[in-house]
Protein backbone atom coordinates (compact mmCIF):
# COMPACT_ATOMS: atom_id res chain seq x y z
CA UNK A 1 0.00 0.00 0.00
CA UNK A 2 1.48 3.41 -0.94
CA UNK A 3 2.51 5.79 1.81
CA UNK A 4 0.15 8.74 2.10
CA UNK A 5 1.34 12.05 3.55
CA UNK A 6 -0.50 15.25 4.27
CA UNK A 7 0.18 18.53 5.98
CA UNK A 8 -0.62 18.79 9.66
CA UNK A 9 -4.00 20.13 10.76
CA UNK A 10 -4.29 23.39 12.65
CA UNK A 11 -2.17 26.52 12.58
CA UNK A 12 0.89 26.96 14.78
CA UNK A 13 1.16 30.63 13.93
CA UNK A 14 0.17 31.60 17.47
CA UNK A 15 1.80 29.31 19.98
CA UNK A 16 1.75 28.82 22.90
CA UNK A 17 -1.83 29.82 23.57
CA UNK A 18 -1.55 31.45 26.95
CA UNK A 19 -2.53 34.70 28.61
CA UNK A 20 -0.72 37.90 27.75
CA UNK A 21 1.72 39.15 30.37
CA UNK A 22 0.21 42.62 30.48
CA UNK A 23 -2.97 44.38 29.37
CA UNK A 24 -1.37 46.25 26.45
CA UNK A 25 1.09 44.84 23.87
CA UNK A 26 4.68 45.47 22.92
CA UNK A 27 5.52 46.49 19.37
CA UNK A 28 8.33 46.35 16.82
CA UNK A 29 8.58 49.47 14.67
CA UNK A 30 9.43 49.84 10.97
CA UNK A 31 11.99 52.21 9.48
CA UNK A 32 10.93 55.48 7.89
CA UNK A 33 13.02 58.46 6.84
CA UNK A 34 11.05 61.15 8.67
CA UNK A 35 12.14 61.92 12.21
CA UNK A 36 8.91 61.56 14.15
CA UNK A 37 7.21 59.01 16.42
CA UNK A 38 6.18 55.78 14.73
CA UNK A 39 3.11 54.96 16.81
CA UNK A 40 0.21 56.09 18.94
CA UNK A 41 -2.40 54.58 21.28
CA UNK A 42 -6.04 54.93 22.21
CA UNK A 43 -8.80 53.14 24.09
CA UNK A 44 -11.33 51.08 22.17
CA UNK A 45 -14.67 52.84 22.47
CA UNK A 46 -17.08 51.07 20.15
CA UNK A 47 -18.09 50.47 16.54
CA UNK A 48 -20.40 52.05 14.01
CA UNK A 49 -20.76 52.10 10.23
CA UNK A 50 -20.15 54.71 7.55
CA UNK A 51 -21.17 55.29 3.95
CA UNK A 52 -18.04 55.89 1.91
CA UNK A 53 -17.07 56.01 -1.74
CA UNK A 54 -14.89 53.05 -2.68
CA UNK A 55 -11.76 54.63 -4.17
CA UNK A 56 -9.68 51.46 -4.31
CA UNK A 57 -8.99 50.92 -8.02
CA UNK A 58 -8.62 47.16 -7.55
CA UNK A 59 -11.99 46.74 -5.85
CA UNK A 60 -15.02 45.42 -7.82
CA UNK A 61 -17.11 48.21 -6.27
CA UNK A 62 -14.71 50.96 -7.35
CA UNK A 63 -16.43 54.34 -7.56
CA UNK A 64 -19.60 53.17 -5.80
CA UNK A 65 -20.96 54.07 -2.37
CA UNK A 66 -20.54 51.20 0.06
CA UNK A 67 -21.15 50.64 3.77
CA UNK A 68 -18.08 49.97 5.91
CA UNK A 69 -17.81 49.01 9.59
CA UNK A 70 -15.45 51.23 11.58
CA UNK A 71 -13.99 51.24 15.09
CA UNK A 72 -13.76 54.38 17.22
CA UNK A 73 -10.73 54.87 19.47
CA UNK A 74 -10.66 57.45 22.26
CA UNK A 75 -7.24 58.95 21.57
CA UNK A 76 -6.23 61.92 23.74
CA UNK A 77 -2.69 63.22 23.49
CA UNK A 78 0.24 61.23 24.89
CA UNK A 79 2.68 62.77 27.36
CA UNK A 80 6.42 62.34 26.66
CA UNK A 81 7.95 61.27 29.97
CA UNK A 82 11.47 60.56 28.78
CA UNK A 83 13.68 58.76 26.30
CA UNK A 84 16.07 55.81 26.28
CA UNK A 85 19.33 55.16 24.43
CA UNK A 86 20.05 51.71 23.01
CA UNK A 87 22.88 49.93 21.24
CA UNK A 88 22.75 46.76 19.18
CA UNK A 89 24.24 43.54 20.56
CA UNK A 90 24.17 39.87 19.49
CA UNK A 91 21.37 39.28 22.00
CA UNK A 92 19.30 42.32 20.99
CA UNK A 93 19.04 45.93 22.13
CA UNK A 94 20.94 46.92 25.29
CA UNK A 95 19.99 50.03 27.23
CA UNK A 96 22.79 52.58 27.63
CA UNK A 97 20.91 55.20 29.61
CA UNK A 98 17.70 57.14 29.95
CA UNK A 99 16.42 60.58 30.86
CA UNK A 100 13.07 61.56 32.42
CA UNK A 101 11.30 64.87 32.61
CA UNK A 102 10.91 66.57 35.98
CA UNK A 103 7.54 68.22 35.29
CA UNK A 104 4.34 66.23 34.86
CA UNK A 105 0.81 67.50 34.17
CA UNK A 106 -1.54 67.81 37.11
CA UNK A 107 -3.35 64.56 37.82
CA UNK A 108 -0.84 62.36 35.99
CA UNK A 109 0.56 59.81 38.42
CA UNK A 110 3.81 58.21 37.24
CA UNK A 111 5.44 55.67 39.54
CA UNK A 112 8.97 54.77 38.47
CA UNK A 113 9.97 51.38 39.80
CA UNK A 114 13.25 51.21 41.69
CA UNK A 115 15.88 49.60 39.46
CA UNK A 116 19.49 49.61 40.69
CA UNK A 117 20.78 48.68 37.22
CA UNK A 118 19.05 51.66 35.54
CA UNK A 119 21.63 53.93 33.96
CA UNK A 120 21.09 57.66 33.96
CA UNK A 121 21.62 59.71 30.83
CA UNK A 122 25.12 60.84 29.89
CA UNK A 123 26.04 63.04 26.91
CA UNK A 124 29.06 60.87 26.19
CA UNK A 125 26.77 57.94 25.33
CA UNK A 126 25.48 59.55 22.12
CA UNK A 127 28.45 58.26 20.10
CA UNK A 128 27.78 54.70 21.25
CA UNK A 129 24.03 54.88 20.63
CA UNK A 130 22.40 52.98 17.75
CA UNK A 131 18.77 53.80 18.51
CA UNK A 132 16.69 56.21 20.60
CA UNK A 133 13.13 55.59 21.75
CA UNK A 134 10.57 57.77 23.45
CA UNK A 135 8.97 56.83 26.76
CA UNK A 136 5.37 58.03 26.67
CA UNK A 137 2.32 57.56 28.84
CA UNK A 138 -1.41 57.84 28.29
CA UNK A 139 -3.54 60.47 30.01
CA UNK A 140 -6.66 58.76 31.39
CA UNK A 141 -7.94 62.02 32.84
CA UNK A 142 -8.54 63.25 29.30
CA UNK A 143 -10.42 60.10 28.28
CA UNK A 144 -13.99 59.00 28.90
CA UNK A 145 -13.01 56.37 31.49
CA UNK A 146 -12.71 56.42 35.25
CA UNK A 147 -9.08 55.44 35.35
CA UNK A 148 -6.19 56.96 37.24
CA UNK A 149 -3.12 54.89 36.45
CA UNK A 150 -1.60 55.72 33.04
CA UNK A 151 -0.12 53.15 30.67
CA UNK A 152 3.61 53.54 30.11
CA UNK A 153 5.33 52.27 26.95
CA UNK A 154 7.98 53.06 24.34
CA UNK A 155 7.62 54.54 20.86
CA UNK A 156 10.15 54.19 18.09
CA UNK A 157 11.42 57.23 16.18
CA UNK A 158 12.00 57.39 12.43
CA UNK A 159 15.24 58.44 10.76
CA UNK A 160 18.80 57.11 10.87
CA UNK A 161 20.76 60.13 12.12
CA UNK A 162 21.26 59.69 15.87
CA UNK A 163 22.15 63.34 16.52
CA UNK A 164 19.02 64.58 14.78
CA UNK A 165 16.91 62.07 16.68
CA UNK A 166 18.54 63.17 19.94
CA UNK A 167 17.76 66.82 19.20
CA UNK A 168 14.17 65.86 18.42
CA UNK A 169 13.56 63.93 21.66
CA UNK A 170 15.03 66.77 23.68
CA UNK A 171 12.70 69.25 21.97
CA UNK A 172 9.53 67.29 22.85
CA UNK A 173 10.59 66.03 26.29
CA UNK A 174 7.90 66.97 28.81
CA UNK A 175 5.41 67.88 26.06
CA UNK A 176 2.39 66.23 24.47
CA UNK A 177 2.07 64.56 21.08
CA UNK A 178 -1.19 64.11 19.18
CA UNK A 179 -2.37 61.58 16.64
CA UNK A 180 -2.38 64.27 13.95
CA UNK A 181 1.39 64.68 14.41
CA UNK A 182 1.95 61.05 13.39
CA UNK A 183 -0.91 59.84 11.17
CA UNK A 184 -3.28 61.29 8.62
CA UNK A 185 -6.64 60.04 7.26
CA UNK A 186 -6.19 57.52 4.49
CA UNK A 187 -2.97 56.10 5.90
CA UNK A 188 -2.63 52.39 6.61
CA UNK A 189 -1.45 51.31 10.07
CA UNK A 190 -0.88 48.12 12.04
CA UNK A 191 -3.14 47.67 15.08
CA UNK A 192 -2.07 45.67 18.15
CA UNK A 193 -4.01 44.86 21.30
CA UNK A 194 -4.84 42.10 23.76
CA UNK A 195 -7.88 40.17 22.56
CA UNK A 196 -11.02 39.38 24.55
CA UNK A 197 -10.50 36.72 27.21
CA UNK A 198 -12.73 33.62 27.22
CA UNK A 199 -11.14 31.78 30.13
CA UNK A 200 -10.82 27.98 30.20
CA UNK A 201 -12.47 26.48 27.10
CA UNK A 202 -12.65 23.11 25.41
CA UNK A 203 -10.81 21.93 22.29
CA UNK A 204 -13.76 22.59 19.95
CA UNK A 205 -13.78 26.32 20.65
CA UNK A 206 -10.04 26.56 21.24
CA UNK A 207 -8.82 24.66 18.16
CA UNK A 208 -11.91 24.18 16.02
CA UNK A 209 -11.87 20.37 15.97
CA UNK A 210 -14.80 18.33 14.68
CA UNK A 211 -17.70 17.56 17.01
CA UNK A 212 -18.03 13.77 17.42
CA UNK A 213 -21.10 11.72 16.45
CA UNK A 214 -23.62 9.96 18.70
CA UNK A 215 -21.57 6.75 18.89
CA UNK A 216 -18.40 8.26 20.31
CA UNK A 217 -18.72 7.22 23.97
CA UNK A 218 -21.48 9.79 24.44
CA UNK A 219 -18.86 12.53 24.54
CA UNK A 220 -19.19 14.85 21.60
CA UNK A 221 -16.90 17.84 22.24
CA UNK A 222 -13.77 15.87 23.09
CA UNK A 223 -10.62 14.82 21.22
CA UNK A 224 -11.10 11.47 19.49
CA UNK A 225 -7.55 10.27 20.14
CA UNK A 226 -4.80 11.91 22.15
CA UNK A 227 -2.04 9.81 20.57
CA UNK A 228 -0.66 6.31 19.93
CA UNK A 229 0.34 3.73 22.52
CA UNK A 230 4.02 4.30 21.73
CA UNK A 231 5.52 6.67 22.74
CA UNK A 232 3.65 6.74 26.03
CA UNK A 233 3.13 10.46 26.22
CA UNK A 234 0.72 13.06 24.88
CA UNK A 235 2.27 15.12 22.11
CA UNK A 236 2.12 18.88 22.43
CA UNK A 237 0.37 19.11 19.05
CA UNK A 238 -2.73 17.35 20.38
CA UNK A 239 -5.59 19.89 20.77
CA UNK A 240 -6.65 20.04 24.39
CA UNK A 241 -8.67 22.30 26.65
CA UNK A 242 -7.05 25.36 28.15
CA UNK A 243 -6.84 29.11 28.11
CA UNK A 244 -8.55 30.81 25.17
CA UNK A 245 -8.41 34.53 24.51
CA UNK A 246 -6.52 37.36 26.17
CA UNK A 247 -3.78 36.92 23.57
CA UNK A 248 -1.51 39.62 22.16
CA UNK A 249 -2.43 40.00 18.50
CA UNK A 250 -1.48 42.35 15.67
CA UNK A 251 -3.64 43.07 12.61
CA UNK A 252 -1.87 44.52 9.60
CA UNK A 253 -2.89 47.24 7.14
CA UNK A 254 -5.91 48.90 8.73
CA UNK A 255 -6.88 52.21 7.14
CA UNK A 256 -7.39 55.31 9.27
CA UNK A 257 -10.63 56.89 8.11
CA UNK A 258 -10.82 59.96 10.33
CA UNK A 259 -8.84 61.84 13.00
CA UNK A 260 -10.78 64.65 14.60
CA UNK A 261 -11.16 66.70 17.78
CA UNK A 262 -14.98 66.91 17.62
CA UNK A 263 -16.49 63.70 19.10
CA UNK A 264 -20.00 64.82 18.16
CA UNK A 265 -19.28 63.71 14.60
CA UNK A 266 -19.25 60.03 15.62
CA UNK A 267 -20.73 59.73 19.13
CA UNK A 268 -24.38 58.68 19.58
CA UNK A 269 -26.58 60.68 21.92
CA UNK A 270 -25.73 59.68 25.48
CA UNK A 271 -22.32 58.34 24.55
CA UNK A 272 -21.10 54.94 23.43
CA UNK A 273 -22.69 51.87 24.94
CA UNK A 274 -20.49 50.47 27.71
CA UNK A 275 -17.97 53.28 27.41
CA UNK A 276 -19.47 56.73 27.72
CA UNK A 277 -18.63 60.05 26.14
CA UNK A 278 -15.39 60.88 24.32
CA UNK A 279 -14.30 64.24 25.75
CA UNK A 280 -11.54 65.09 23.25
CA UNK A 281 -10.02 63.66 20.07
CA UNK A 282 -10.71 60.30 18.46
CA UNK A 283 -9.39 58.01 15.71
CA UNK A 284 -11.68 56.12 13.35
CA UNK A 285 -10.19 52.89 11.97
CA UNK A 286 -11.75 50.89 9.15
CA UNK A 287 -12.91 47.43 10.21
CA UNK A 288 -12.56 45.81 13.61
CA UNK A 289 -9.61 45.83 16.01
CA UNK A 290 -8.64 43.28 18.70
CA UNK A 291 -9.76 43.66 22.29
CA UNK A 292 -12.81 44.61 24.27
CA UNK A 293 -14.15 48.02 25.17
CA UNK A 294 -11.88 50.23 27.29
CA UNK A 295 -8.81 48.22 26.24
CA UNK A 296 -5.73 50.09 25.08
CA UNK A 297 -5.06 49.67 21.36
CA UNK A 298 -1.67 50.57 19.92
CA UNK A 299 -1.16 51.79 16.35
CA UNK A 300 2.08 51.95 14.40
CA UNK A 301 3.26 52.78 10.90
CA UNK A 302 2.40 49.96 8.47
CA UNK A 303 5.07 47.29 8.02
CA UNK A 304 3.66 45.68 4.86
CA UNK A 305 2.38 48.52 2.72
CA UNK A 306 2.97 52.21 2.13
CA UNK A 307 -0.11 53.02 0.03
CA UNK A 308 -2.35 55.97 0.82
CA UNK A 309 -6.08 56.00 -0.02
CA UNK A 310 -7.86 59.15 1.23
CA UNK A 311 -11.43 58.37 2.35
CA UNK A 312 -14.52 60.06 0.93
CA UNK A 313 -17.05 59.82 3.76
CA UNK A 314 -20.67 60.61 2.96
CA UNK A 315 -22.44 59.49 6.12
CA UNK A 316 -21.57 58.38 9.67
CA UNK A 317 -24.13 56.40 11.66
CA UNK A 318 -24.83 57.85 15.11
CA UNK A 319 -27.14 55.04 16.22
CA UNK A 320 -26.21 53.16 19.38
CA UNK A 321 -24.71 49.70 18.66
CA UNK A 322 -25.07 46.61 20.83
CA UNK A 323 -21.83 44.87 19.81
CA UNK A 324 -18.19 45.86 19.40
Q: How confident is the model at residue 266 (pLDDT cuts 50, 70, 90)?
A: very high
Q: pLDDT band at 216, cuts 50/70/90?
A: confident
300 bridge partner residues: 39, 190
Contact 257, 284 (CB under 8 A): yes
Backbone phi and psi for residue 270, each to the nearest 5 degrees, phi listed first: 90, -5
Mean pLDDT (whole number) for 244-271: 93
Dist. CA 28–CA 318, nearest whole Å? 35
- Of 105, 54, 48, 56, give the one whose Cα is nearest residue 72: 48
Check pLDDT > 60 for residue 324. no
**Distance between CA atoms of residues 283 and 42, nearest Å:** 8
Output the CA torsion sign for 121, 135, 152, 95: negative
| Confidence check: pLDDT of 191 > 90 | yes
- Min mean pLDDT across 119-123, 141-145, 254-258, 267-271 is at 119-123
Residue 1 has pLDDT above 60, yes or no: no
The end-to-end CA distance of the chain, in Å, is 53
What's the chain's average pLDDT? Answer: 89
DSSP string, 267-283: PPTT-BTTTB---S-EE
What percentage of residues in the chain have a pLDDT greater than 70? 94
pLDDT given at position 77 = 95
Give residue 215's pLDDT. 82
Average pLDDT over residues 251-264: 94
270, pLDDT greater than 60: yes
What b-and-e string marks burial along 225-245, b requiring 16 or more CB atoms within 10 Å of the CB?
A: eeeeeeeeeeeeeebebebbb
pLDDT, tens digit, for every residue of 107-144? 787 766 545 556 666 777 888 899 999 999 999 999 98
Residue 112 has a pLDDT of 63
Of 311, 298, 297, 300, residue with least CA distance to 46? 297
Please classify residue 25 by burial: count the beta carbons closer than 10 Å to its beta carbon, then call 0-12 exposed, 13-18 middle and 19+ buried.
Answer: buried
pLDDT, one tens digit per residue, over 27-78 is 999 999 999 999 999 999 999 999 999 988 889 999 999 999 999 999 999 9
pLDDT score for 110? 72
Domains and CATH numbers, the chain: 39-196+246-316 (2.40.30.10)
- Host H or E run for residue 68: strand 65-74
Query: Is the pLDDT score of 246 beyond 70?
Result: yes
The 10 Å CB-count burial string (b at 16+, else e) for 128-165 is: ebebbbbbbbbbbbbbbeeeeebbbbbbbbbeeebeeb
| pLDDT higher than threshold 70 for residue 195 | yes
pLDDT at 78: 96
pLDDT digits (tens, 9 = 90+) for 160-170: 999 999 999 99
What pLDDT is stored for residue 15 in this prediction?
82
Preceding amide of 125 cis, omega within 30 = no
Residue 83 CB-density burial (10 A; 0-12 exposed, 13-18 middle, 19+ buried): buried
pLDDT of residue 9: 65
Amino acid sequence: MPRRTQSRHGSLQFWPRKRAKRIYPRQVFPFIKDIKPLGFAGWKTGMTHILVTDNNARSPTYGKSIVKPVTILDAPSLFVCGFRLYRHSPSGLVSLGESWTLKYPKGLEIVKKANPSRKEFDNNLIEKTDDIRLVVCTQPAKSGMRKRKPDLFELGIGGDDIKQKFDYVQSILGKEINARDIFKPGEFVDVAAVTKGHGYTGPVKRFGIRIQTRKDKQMHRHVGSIGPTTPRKVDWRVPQAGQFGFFTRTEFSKRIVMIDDDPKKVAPSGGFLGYGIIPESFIMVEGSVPGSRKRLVRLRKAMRTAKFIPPDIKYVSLASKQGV
